[in-house]
């Protein structure tokens, strides 16, 4: 069983006798220090803020896409509006993951006894947000290259 990390008698953290330093533990409980919590809390706030911004951007794009489909004249309205509406899904989905990651980072700071599981939860959500962003960006790059090649071939 892992020994709990308790404050020492002279204001220092535990294991005071003989200055014993604990061996590295694999897994188990770990409580982030105040300085570490500051970094984590700051990231959590920014992730939440960015998530909200991202969702708002996505919703604006979605509305714009629908407006183009309904109101714009000509045959191009449907494909153009459709592309805008589909593109709006990326910021909405990744924004949701960023918000969730921000909440999990906040949990690391606000709770005790489960810092590492909360941190891993936050890392998973952050990874999902970046995965969605990366895949959509890669698809956009491939699409742009194909469009460029087709355009060059047609001329």
Partner 1 sequence: MNPYQPPNPYQQQYPQQYPQQPPYQPPSYEFGEAENSIIKSCATWTMVLGIIQILEGASKLFGEGKSTLNLIVHVAMGVLLIVASQSLTKVVTTQGQDIPHLMKALDNFGQVLLIRIILLVFALIIAVIAVVAILAVLAAIAH
Q: Where along the sequence are the contacts to partner 1 (CB under 8 A)?
A: 5, 10, 12-13, 16-19, 21-22, 24-28, 30, 32-33, 36, 39-40, 42-43, 46-47, 49-50, 53, 57, 116, 119-120, 123-124, 126-127, 130-131, 133-134, 137-138, 141
Angstrom distance (rounded) from CA 85 to CA 70: 12
The Cα–Cα gap between 49 and 44 comes to 9
Q: Which is nearer to partner 1, 57 or 66 (CB)?
A: 57
Match 């355009």 to its residue by tokens.
151
| Closest to partner 1 by CB, 36 or 92 | 36
CB of 71 to partner 1, least distance (A): 18
Minimum separation from the CB atom of position 22 to partner 1 (A)? 6
Please identify, using beta-carbon distances, which residue of 19 and 74 lies nearer to partner 1: 19
Torsion of CA 136, 140, 143, 147, to 10 degrees: 160
Structure tokens at 27: 């897994």
CA 31, chain centre distance (Å): 22
């Amino acid at each position: 069983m892992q020994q709990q990390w308790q404050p020492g008698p002279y204001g220092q953290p535990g294991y005071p006798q003989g200055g014993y330093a604990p061996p590295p533990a694999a897994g188990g409980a770990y409580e982030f220090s105040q300085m570490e919590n500051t970094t984590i809390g700051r990231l959590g706030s920014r992730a939440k803020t960015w998530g909200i911004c991202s969702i708002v951007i996505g919703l604006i794009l979605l509305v714009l896409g629908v407006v183009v489909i309904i109101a714009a004249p000509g045959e191009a309205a449907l494909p153009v509006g459709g592309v805008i509406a589909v593109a709006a899904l990326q910021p909405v989905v990744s924004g949701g993951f960023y918000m969730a990651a921000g909440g999990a980072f906040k949990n690391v700071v606000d709770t005790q006894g489960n810092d590492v599981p909360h941190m891993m939860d936050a890392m998973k959500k952050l990874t999902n947000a970046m995965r969605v962003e990366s895949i959509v960006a890669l698809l956009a790059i491939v699409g742009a290259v194909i469009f460029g090649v087709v355009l060059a071939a047609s001329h």
